[in-house]
């Protein structure tokens, strides 16, 4: 195991590293108006999701949010997105799927400030918050959304406990993320452990869809890495961006990494 992998195996240290990395990344990317920090999605055959001219440059990332939320209607719902990043998904879903309210929280205070300044939409608010200690009451939301963030959490089971706590009975948890092969069994076991509280409505392996999305985003993602990060961080940036040749991309291509999506219903 590499030194970096060993460090990330220590939960509290992993969280400390993310507390440094994400605000730094926001500061570096802010001038480029980067609205999505997740990978992407491209179905086969491709759909024809209608997008505005302003949203079109982010099509591949928006398609991931559209896939994750496809099983249910958000119209009139009280929605919480946990780890909302730069708010691109929250903005698009609020504009297009008409929830009654949409709250995006993130551990990155610099990112939350960016979201508040960038996304001025009726019904959409942003707050600083910890996924493992959500600052909300029991049964407060109809829908919870978590896209490609839980691999950063030191205690995934604590996060799932918080999901169950703040979700209304009959509400839905819409979830997507990835794990490497050595983490996969523990991840799936943790998901199975919440079966008494969360019923699986659907579960899909979307690894190939995400890989196609990465290919669509490869050129602009690589340009961002080269333009916005110092040279000594280019390797890390390419991995984070998921461009061909980077570790995450190649692991997804080879099957060493699995990307999954779920729709759960709170019992």
DSSP 130: B
Would you say 70 and 122 are in contact if contact means Cβ atoms under 8 Å apart? Answer: no
Between CA 227 and CA 234 the distance in angstroms is: 10
Mean pLDDT, the chain, whole residue set: 93
Look at residue 3 and tell me whether its pLDDT is greater than 50.
Answer: no
DSSP 152: G
Q: What are the tens digits of pLDDT across the range 194-218?
A: 999 999 999 999 999 999 999 999 9
Q: What are the tens digits of pLDDT across the range 128-159?
A: 999 999 999 999 999 999 999 999 999 999 99
Task: Name the residue among 85, 35, 92, 91 with its Cα closest to residue 63.
Answer: 92
Between CA 206 and CA 126 the distance in angstroms is: 28
Look at residue 10 and tell me whether its pLDDT is greater than 90.
Answer: no
Tokens for 55? 């949203």
Would you say 142 and 169 are in contact if contact means Cβ atoms under 8 Å apart? Answer: no
pLDDT at 15: 62
pLDDT band at 20 (very low <50, low <70, confident <90, very high): confident
As a CATH number, domain 3-266 is: 3.40.50.150
| pTM for this prediction | 0.94
pLDDT at 207: 98
Alpha-carbon distances, residue 258 vs 36, 110, 249 (angstroms): 21, 30, 11
């Amino acid at each position: 195991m590499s030194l970096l992998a060993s460090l990330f195996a220590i939960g509290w240290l992993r969280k400390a590293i993310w507390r440094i990395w994400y605000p730094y990344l926001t500061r570096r990317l802010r001038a480029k108006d980067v609205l999505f920090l997740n990978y992407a999605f491209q179905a086969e055959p491709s759909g024809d999701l209608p997008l505005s001219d302003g949203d079109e440059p982010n099509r591949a990332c928006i398609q991931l949010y559209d896939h994750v939320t496809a099983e249910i209607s958000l119209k009139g719902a009280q929605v919480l997105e946990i780890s909302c990043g730069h708010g691109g998904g929250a903005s698009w879903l609020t504009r297009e799927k008409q929830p009654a309210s949409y709250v995006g929280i993130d551990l990155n205070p610099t990112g939350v400030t960016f979201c508040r300044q960038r996304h001025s939409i009726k019904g959409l608010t942003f707050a600083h918050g910890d996924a493992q200690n959500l600052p909300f009451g029991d049964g407060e939301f109809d829908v919870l959304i978590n896209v490609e963030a839980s691999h950063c959490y030191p205690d995934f089971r604590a996060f799932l406990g918080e999901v169950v706590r703040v979700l209304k009975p009959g509400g839905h948890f819409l979830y997507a993320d990835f794990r490497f092969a050595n983490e996969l069994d523990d991840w799936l076991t943790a998901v199975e452990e919440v079966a008494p509280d969360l019923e699986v409505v659907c579960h899909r392996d979307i690894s190939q869809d995400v890989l196609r999305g990465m290919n669509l985003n490869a050129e602009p993602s690589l340009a961002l890495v080269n333009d916005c990060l110092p040279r000594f961080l280019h390797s890390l940036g390419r991995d984070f961006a998921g461009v061909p040749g980077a570790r995450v991309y190649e692991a997804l291509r080879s099957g060493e990494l699995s990307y999954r999506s779920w729709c759960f219903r709170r019992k």
